[in-house]
Chain A
């Protein structure tokens, strides 16, 4: 094996993962340009310190964890970390493309309202199909915390979906009885 091949051995894996890593960074930061910059810094670190990658661990989980760790470390250097973690809704909505209908707007609005860690929890479980343990390793929390987050977030989102479904029902009643329910009795 040549030296170059040895040192570059996680490169093809990272390149193959690029769209997924970018999505992870997008949801973490909530905005494309900053997410790209974060991903660039994280990739620099991963490549320079690739000896830290433990053989046998899935590369995607390791890379996600490194991006998250990088974000946390940088957040800690800000005077107002909480302010940095907030997302601009318009920039956030751009992550999902331009052809969103009302339903997508509801979903993107809901995701924008969540803290970054909760968005990532949803991403890792529902999109990346990680199990609770793997997702916990990425976010450095227990599988139980992942489970309780999922329950809480799913319940809140389901409540919102149910709540938005109800006014539509009222509207159809109003259309059927323009004078109101009393007028028809």
Chain B
């Protein structure tokens, strides 16, 4: 009998293994009935738990949806009656919300039919300038200032500094063809982890920024908007990237694809300050 730990089998059942590991486990399953029975029991456990949780959600959706009519404004009195009648405990939550002076718009509730498919909510609270500045301050580290502004556009220094901090797989993309000129780069931080910031300027408008930090092995690009700033996040070769700017989704996704598919050409000779536009370059630690 092959020895496979529950740790590995649970990861397999939960779909957490890499493709190669998954294939290896599947090969073992074909040949070992004991392991196959264990995996089946784990899968059974998994699916029973999922079904149980779905049952609770179905009950809650029913309760929440009960007093509604699509697009119907629920007046205070009606809501109180619903609460008093004990139609649903969720109604009392709605009362609480109404107590905040809100009209209860039912389409909002109708939208919640399946939480799993809800788009990720990124919030819409406009921050004050002080809040924005304070958050930006949180990105600065000592290293951000230890290399002067002139050096920040020197590709060799950038390659050394960022390569050491983020990792050898980091790319310095050339976006000349897309109308963005590389201007400078610096090292920021997220908590204790270093974050590389590469800044580009188009012919007009705000800068385009590419952020990079150590991260997942591989993750497909996904777009998200934060107020006026659009962003695309993805991971490759152990580096997580965030491309951010005031461009729209198609433009940013296209740029992200160009960076992802950029050649892994080595060397940064010839890159000049001021107009230095690096090729898509994997940085090497010295």
- A interface residues, Cβ below 8 angstroms from B: 1, 6, 8-20, 22-23, 26-27, 32-33, 36, 39-40, 43-44, 47, 50-51, 53-60, 95-97, 100, 103-104, 106-108, 111, 122-123, 125-129, 150-151, 154-155, 157-159, 161-162
Majority DSSP secondary structure for residues of B touching A: helix
CB distance A128 to B115 under 8 Å?
yes
Q: Which residue of B lies closest to A156 (CB)?
A: B45
Binary contact track B1-38/A, C-beta < 8 Å → 1, others 0? 00000110010011000000000000000000000011
CB distance from B44 to the nearest CB of A (A): 5
Q: Which residue of B lies closest to A4 (CB)?
A: B101
CB distance A23 to B57 under 8 Å?
yes
Q: A19-B64, A127-B53 are in contact. Are A51 and B125 (CB under 8 A)?
A: yes
Q: A16-B109, A39-B93, A55-B125 are in contact. Are A155 and B6 (CB under 8 A)?
A: yes
Residue in B13, B54, B93 with the greatest tally of chain A CB atoms within 10 Å: B93
Q: A15-B109, A36-B93 are in contact. Are A95 and B59 (CB under 8 A)?
A: yes
Check: B146 CB closer than 8 A to any chain A CB: no
CB distance A161 to B44 under 8 Å?
yes
Q: Which of A11, A12, A33, A97 contacts B89 (CB 8 A)?
A: A33
Q: Which residue of A lies closest to B226 (CB)?
A: A56
Give complex CA distance A23, B53 in Å: 8
Residues of B within 8 Å of A, CB-based: how many? Answer: 56
A/B interface sample: 11 pairs, CB < 8 A: A6-B126, A10-B123, A20-B112, A33-B89, A43-B96, A104-B48, A123-B53, A127-B49, A129-B116, A150-B10, A155-B6
Q: Which residue of A lies closest to B96 (CB)?
A: A40
CB distance B90 to A56 under 8 Å?
no
Q: A55-B122, A150-B10, A158-B42 are in contact. Are A11 and B53 (CB under 8 A)?
A: no
Q: Which of B41, B56, B122, B125 contacts A23 (CB 8 A)?
A: B56
List of A residues within 8 angstroms of B111 by Cβ: 16
Q: Which residue of A lies closest to B41 (CB)?
A: A158
CB distance B121 to A13 under 8 Å?
yes
CB distance from B5 to the nearest CB of A (A): 9
Q: Which residue of B lies closest to A94 (CB)?
A: B59
List of B residues within 8 angstroms of A40 by Cβ: 92-93, 96
Give complex CA distance A182, B120 in Å: 64
Give complex CA distance A47, B99 in Å: 12
Give complex CA distance A29, B182 in Å: 54
Q: A8-B102, A60-B115 are in contact. Are A154 and B45 (CB under 8 A)?
A: yes
Check: B124 CB closer than 8 A to any chain A CB: yes
CB distance from A9 to the nearest CB of B (A): 5
Q: Which of B37, B54, B64, B124 contacts A18 (CB 8 A)?
A: B64
